Structure 1
Amino acid sequence: MNRLAFELKLDEEEVRPADYFDMMAGVGFGGLCALLLGRLRMTPRLVADELEKVATAIFNTGDDEIASAEYAMVKLRMVIEDILRRHGHPCNIDLRDDSNNRCKVVVFAALEVVADHCRPFRTYVHPRSSKGVRHTFVDVACAILAFPEFLPPVLIGRPGREERFSGIPHGFHNPMQEVLKESQWLFDKERPVSLVLSLGPGQGPIISSKDYRGTTSSRIVSKTDTVAKELSQRFCGVGEYLRLNVDKGLDNVELDDWHALGSIVSHTEVYLELPTITAHIDRAVQWLLRRNGSVTLEQLVCSNNHSQIKFLQQNHNEQLLKVVKQMNEIVQEAIEKITLVDAVGIRIPISLQLCRSYETLIKVIRVYYEDQRPPGTRLVKKGHFELVSGNEGEVVKPIAWRCVVTPGLTVEMSMIRHDYHTEGMNCPRCGHAYTDWTTKGWTTWGASR
C-alpha cells in the first residue's frame, strides 16, 4: 500500500485496502488480517501492530501446557475485545457487516470432527447460509486462530447445537480456490477483474505431531506450495494474478517464533526489493488504479482448465500485438516516406526506398503519370519539369538529392514550357492562358499551394 499511496500522492495512513479490494479472505493469521483490514477497515501498519499483540497472547505459554492453553484462549479473547474497543467498536459486534463497506470478507475455519472441511464465516449474506444465524467478531476471530498445537477448540452455535472449530482446515492453508468459488456468488460474472493478490506465509509445509494437550496427531497442516503451483499453472499468462511469498530465510520459522520478528522483517524486505518482485508490485498497483482488467470473473472462476484462461489471455495479447503492429506500420509509413506534390496540387506519398536516388525518383514519377494520366502528362513525358522544395521554392539539383532526401520531406513539381513564343500558353490544371512571360527564359507554373 506504500506504493499505492505514493502514486496517489497521499499519506500512507490515508490509504486503506478496504477501499481498493472488493473481497478479502484468509485462514489463521491471514484470516485475522482480512478481518482487520476489511471488516474493521484498518491500515496495514495498524494490523501489523495488532497481530503482534495477538501472537503474544497465544504463544506466551507457561509450564502447565493444558492450563496455559486454556488461559491462552482467555487472553486471546481479551486481546481481540481490546482491539475492538480501541478502534471504536463494541466488544459484541457482529461479524456480519450491514454497512455500505465495499469490501466483503470471508474467513475459513476447521471443524474439529471434520478437519479437512472448510467452513466459511462471512461478513455478508450468502444464498447458502442461514440469514438468521449471526456470529460475533470475537468468536470467529478465536475460531480461525484455535491452532490445535496451542489452543483448545472454540464453540460456536446455538446452545445445545454448538460446533467445535480448531484453526486452519486441513489442506486449506492457501484458500484461493474457495475464494474464487465464493466470489461468483457476490459479483457479476462478466465483471472485469483488476487484481487477484495471493500472499503466502513464507515457509514450507509443516507437519503437526501433537495437539495442545500433547496428544499425537498425524494432521498435515500445510499444502500451501501445492495449491500455489496449481494456481500458477492455471493462471499462467494472466497478468491480473500475483502471488507474493518470501521464498528464502523463513523455512525454519515456527508459529511461536514471535520473539524473532526482526529476522522476518529483514527477509521480507530483501524479498520485496528483488527487481522481479518490484516489477510485479508496480504492475499490480497500476491494475488497482485502473480497476479494469482483461479477464472476467467467469473466465477465472468457471474454467477448470487453466489452458482456457491461458488461451483467452493469449488471444487478447495477440489482438493487442496485432493492433500495435498495425499502428507501427502506419507510423513507419508516415515516417519512411516523402510527399510529392504534382503540378496540379495532388499529394503523392512515395516510399523512401523508391527515391534514394534522383534517377529512381524520376522513373517513379514517369510511371505514375503514364498510369494515371493527370494534367501535365505530356510535359512529364518530355522531361519538362523541375522539383522544388523549401519555403523559397528552391530547385532541387540531381547532384544534391542524396543530401536533401529525408523521411517526411515534401517536394513540389514545376512544369516547364519551352514554347514561350506560342500565344495562349495554358496552365496544365485550369487552362488559363498565360501571356506575361519573359524572353530570357521560360514560364513556370508552380504547384498549386
Structure 2
Amino acid sequence: MANTTTGRPGLAVLSFDGGGVRGYSSLLIVEALMCAIQREMKLETVPRPCEYFNIIGGTSSGGLNAILLGRLGMSAEQALEAYRRVAKLAFTPVPHFPFSPQGAYSGRNLKKAIQDELERHVIGDREAALAEEIRTSGDEASAKAIVAKRAENARDLLYYDPTACRTVVLAKTTTDVGARPTLFKSYATDPRWMSCKIWEIARATSAATTFFPSIKIGRDKIEFLDTALGNNNPCDTLFDEISREFPENNIYCMVSVGTGLQKAIELKNNRLSILRSLAKLATNSNAVHSAMAQRHGSNKPRVYWRFDEDAGLHDVELDNWDAMSKVAGHTSNYINKPEVQNEMNELASCIKVASGEGPNGAS
C-alpha cells in the first residue's frame, strides 16, 4: 500500500507478547496466518513472515519469537521446532538455595539452547556437514576444523545485521525497571549494542525475574531483564517507536499476537493476594490491546489486528514445557473459530493489496 505523501509502500509490523511456554501459541497463530496469506496470494509454498512483515518485534518469549522469525528469517514451522527444543532445555530446573535471586532456571541452559539453534540453523546437522566437507576436501582433520569453526561462528552470530528482516527486541535495565524499555534493533548502528551476539539479546529479553537471572551485555555491560512487568504487550511501544523512526512510511498493518487471555483480575483483602493481583495487572496484555483498539479502531482502511487465544491458556504455567500439547490444542480450537478465520482472511487480503497484487495495490 502506497504512502499517501511519498507514494512509497507503508510498513507491516508483527508484534509478539511475552508469555513463557505460551509463546508457542503465538507461533501457531502466525503459522495459520501465513497459510491464509498463501491461499490469498495463491502461492505454491507457505511464505515466511519476514517476506511480508517489514519489522518483527517482541519481548520475553515474544522477543525470542521475533529473533527466530525476523533476524534469522525462519519459517513459522522452523520456529515452532526451534521453540520446542529451546523450551525443553531452558525450563529444566536447577538446584538453588531458597529465595535465590538467580531464578528457578539456568541462564547457561538458555544460552546453550539458543546457541544450539543458531548452529542448527546456519550449518544444519553437524555430522552431515562434516561428511560433506570430507567429501569435498578429502582431508578429515581439516574438515573437522572447518566445521568446528563454522559452528563456533554460528553460535556467536552478531545480532546486528542490516541485511536481515528488521527485528526489535525489548528489555529493561535492572537499575530502573520503571523506565522506558530499551529497544534492541538489529538494523541500528548503536555503538552500545553493535557487539552484542544473538544469544545475548535473546537472554536479555528472556530474563524473567522468577525464571532466569539477569544478564550484563553490550559495550558498557549494562544489566538487563525482561519487560513483563509493564510492557508484556509491546505493540504500542513498537508502533510509536517505528512511527517516529520512519515518519516517511505509514504503518499500514500492525499485527499483535498474544499468549492467551488472562482471567479477570480480582483483588482480595490480604497483602499476598494484593501483591499477586498487582503483578498480574502489570503483565496484563489486554489493557494495551484495549487502548490500541480504541486508538486505531476507526482507521479506514483497517490498521490494527490482534490475535490471542481466549479460552484455555490462562491456567498454563509459563514454565511448564510439558504443556505444549495443551497449548497447541487450545490454540488449534481458537484458530478454527469462524470469526478468527474471517479475521485472518481479511488480514491476508489487506497484505495482498499492499503487496501490489490486490485490486487497490500499488503498481
Normalising by the residue count of structure 2, what TM-score does the alignment of the two structures yield? 0.70
1:224 corresponds, among 274, 285, 291, to: 285
Counterpart in the other structure of 2:261: 203
Residues 262 and 111 from structure 1, CA distance in 2 versus in 1: closer, same or farther, beyond 3 angstroms?
A: same
Q: Which residue of 2 aligns with 1:90?
A: 154
Aligned partner of 1:246 in structure 2 is: 309
Q: What residue in structure 2 maps to residue 166 of structure 1?
A: 225
User: Could you say which structure has the higher helix fraction?
Assistant: 2
Query: Is residue 203–residue 253 contact of structure 1 (8 Å, CA) maintained in 2?
Result: no
Matched with 1:29 is: 61
For residues 106 and 215 of structure 2, what CA distance do their matches in structure 1 show?
Answer: 12
Secondary structure of 2:259's counterpart equals coil
2:80 pairs, out of 32, 42, 48, with 48
> Contact 1:195–1:241 (CA<8 Å) still a contact in 2?
yes
Pair 1:290–1:201, CA change in 2 (3 A): same
Contact 1:109–1:119 at 8 Å: present in 2 too? yes
Instruction: Report the AA paired with residue 314 of structure 2.
Output: D
Q: Among residues 154, 162, 178, which one is paired with 1:116 in the alignment?
A: 178
2:171 partner letter: A
Structure 1: runs of 5 or more not aligned: 208-215, 294-449
- Is 1:264–2:327 an aligned residue pair? yes
Q: Deviations over 1:136-159 (max 9, x none)?
A: 11100011111111111111133x
CA distance change for structure 1 residues 12 and 148 in 2, over 3 Å: closer, same or farther? farther
CA contact (8 A) 1:125 1:131 kept: no
Verify the 8 A CA contact 2:313 2:330 in the aligned structure 1.
yes
Q: 1:112 to 1:132 in 2, by over 3 A?
A: closer
1:168 Cα offset (Å) = 2.0
Q: Which residue of 2 aligns with 1:57?
A: 89
Q: For CA contacts below 8 A with separation 6 or more, give which structure has more relative contact order.
A: 2
How far apart in 2 are the matches of 1:43 and 1:173? 24
Distance in 2 of aligned mates of 1:202 and 1:70: 23
Q: CA deviation at 1:194?
A: 3.5
Query: For residues 67 and 229 of structure 1, do their structure 2 counterparts lie closer, same or farther at Cα, with a shift above 3 Å needed?
Result: closer
2:298 equivalent in structure 1: 237
Q: CA deviation at 1:164?
A: 1.1
1:193–1:292: 8 Å Cα contact kept in structure 2?
A: no
Residues paired across the two proteins, number: 278
Q: 2:235 & 2:159 partners in 1: Cα distance?
A: 21
Q: Distance in 1 between matches of 2:342 and 2:155?
A: 42
Contact persistence 1:28–1:145 (CA under 8 A): yes
Contact 1:203 1:251 in 2 (8 A): yes
The aligned counterpart of 1:299 is none
Q: Which residue of 2 aligns with 1:145?
A: 206
The residue correspondences of 1:73-84 to structure 2 (distance < 5 A) are: 73-84=107-118
Aligned position for 1:16: 48
Q: Of 71, 75, 79, which aligns to 1:39?
A: 71
State the AA in 1 paired with 2:283: S
Partner of 1:283: 346
Q: Which moved more, 1:256-265 or 1:32-41?
A: 256-265
2:168 maps to what in 1? Answer: 106
Q: 1:138 to 1:132 in 2, by over 3 A?
A: closer
Give the RMSD, CA atoms, in angstroms: 2.8
Matches within 5 A, 1:295-310: none
Shift of 1:34: 0.7
What SS does structure 1 have at the residue aligned with 2:229? coil
The runs of 4+ residues in structure 1 deviating greater than 2 Å are 6-13, 62-71, 129-134, 184-189, 191-194, 216-221
